[in-house]
Structure 1
């Protein structure tokens, strides 16, 4: 797992309070080579599980980060610059598919709602790019570093065979394009930065729970397994893979 990174490497997980973000945070803390893990949370005071983890491991520090509020992202970058100066790994797991206020995937064209689409785009597409905008200057140079954002296979245009899920598909496709575009630019200044989007598969979290009915048991991953798989995939990538879109098993996903 991330063997190309040096001992005492520093990491940031955005969306660390629950689901895959919490799982990745815990997986990183299980690695003795980790120096510091920063957990970005939209509401840190409500993040009881990550606080419990922090109480047993002083390497974990929580920060307020809301990918819909650029000011909080910029402030978090400033805090990390003061705390440790640089990062070797940034993983963005924050995303939205449905919520208690009525947001849900539009299975039919007639259900398309521009307000839902705008929110999905802001969180799922623009959010990761805002993180990259403010944290790319903090990515350690002179060696391998990783930026990864969790996308989804439904964001693949080439793999779309059943339609539906208009806003979520569009937002994830946009995320892939934005990260790909940034990777091209960043490679000019930081040729050893691996900047990718990752498809975690279907993971047993609140995000996927309403849609798990038809998922084969061997393809519904628990959070611990999914977190380990993603870190293993990331650790196997090189600078030549930067700008790519990869699935949980390391296979490239078509655009």
Structure 2
């Protein structure tokens, strides 16, 4: 594929993270897109986008709109701890913790959809995806706990389902999906890696490879669902 044949862009939001950076690297190495936009709250070489600052999201979308249409928008963001350990019991819930996780895990990606989804091409396949988590599944919840993280990811899954329904009206070839990356050796999962076997802890590069392969295999019938790194659909 020559540069003149590349008509689309890819957008990676959260490119300062382990998975996001690996996804951006893999997309650039594959050479499928005319440009790969990297956005993050703080990252050398990436444009600024803060999920808690709607103005930066709008500005980032305007920057992307000036170039090739983004056929892939990959939201690789999320928060699990960093000042708030996952709650083991409902007695440990706090409004501050709940609101922090909702802002970053659900509201932020929703605002990304608000500004970026309209930029998807309408006449060919396009994908909007965000990192979710298996623990955001209501049907798969057998243990309880982790209230803020579980609830915020469940909210994200509903936002993605709504987006899939609405985009089908204006962008009939668009696929919307949540992705469960497994346990990846990043800061997000750092405190929870103890005791995992080597086969259960993925490198960012391997996770990115698997997630992009899953996206490649999704069809319009899959839009609105959440899928694990191995392609299996995560229960709602």
State TM-score, norm by structure 2.
0.95
Mapping for residues 224-235 of structure 1, pairs under 5 Å: 224-235=205-216
Is 2:101 the partner of 1:120? yes
Question: 1:8 deviation in Å?
Answer: 4.5
Query: Which residue number corresponds to residue 57 of structure 2?
Result: 73
2-structure distance, mates of 1:97, 1:123: 10
Residue 11 (structure 2) aligns with: 12
Partner residue in 2 for 1:167: 148
**Contact persistence 1:13–1:37 (CA under 8 A):** yes
Decide whether the 8 Å contact of 1:8 with 1:36 is kept in 2.
no
Report the counterpart of residue 55 of structure 1 in structure 2: none
Matched, 1:157 2:138: yes
Matched, 1:138 2:119: yes
After superposition, give the CA deviation of every residue in 1:207-253 in whole Å (9 maximum; x if it has no partner).
00100113232111000000000000000001111111111000100
Asked if the contact 2:17–2:76 (Cα under 8 Å) also holds between the matched residues in 1, the reply is no
CA RMSD across the alignment: 1.2
Match of 1:59 in 2: none
Aligned-residue offset at 1:127: 1.0
Aligned to 1:26: 25
Secondary structure at the aligned position of 1:71 is classed as helix
Uncovered stretches (5+) of structure 2, i.e. residues with no partner: none
Q: Is the 8 A contact 2:180 2:228 kept in 1?
A: yes
Listed as ranges, the matches of 1:1-255 within 5 Å are 7-43=6-42, 47-48=43-44, 51=45, 62-82=46-66, 84-99=67-82, 102-255=83-236
Tell me the alpha carbon deviations over residues 44-63 of structure 1, each in whole angstroms, 9 at most, x when there is no partner. xxx24xx3xxxxxxxxxx22
Q: Secondary structure at the match of 1:206?
A: coil
Q: Distance in 1 between matches of 2:192 and 2:204?
A: 16
Q: Give the distance between the partners of 1:156 and 1:214, measured in 2 at CA.
A: 24
TM-score scaled to structure 1, two decimals? 0.88
SS at match of 2:215: helix
The question of whether the paired residues in 2 share the 8 Å contact of 1:65 and 1:76 is answered with: yes
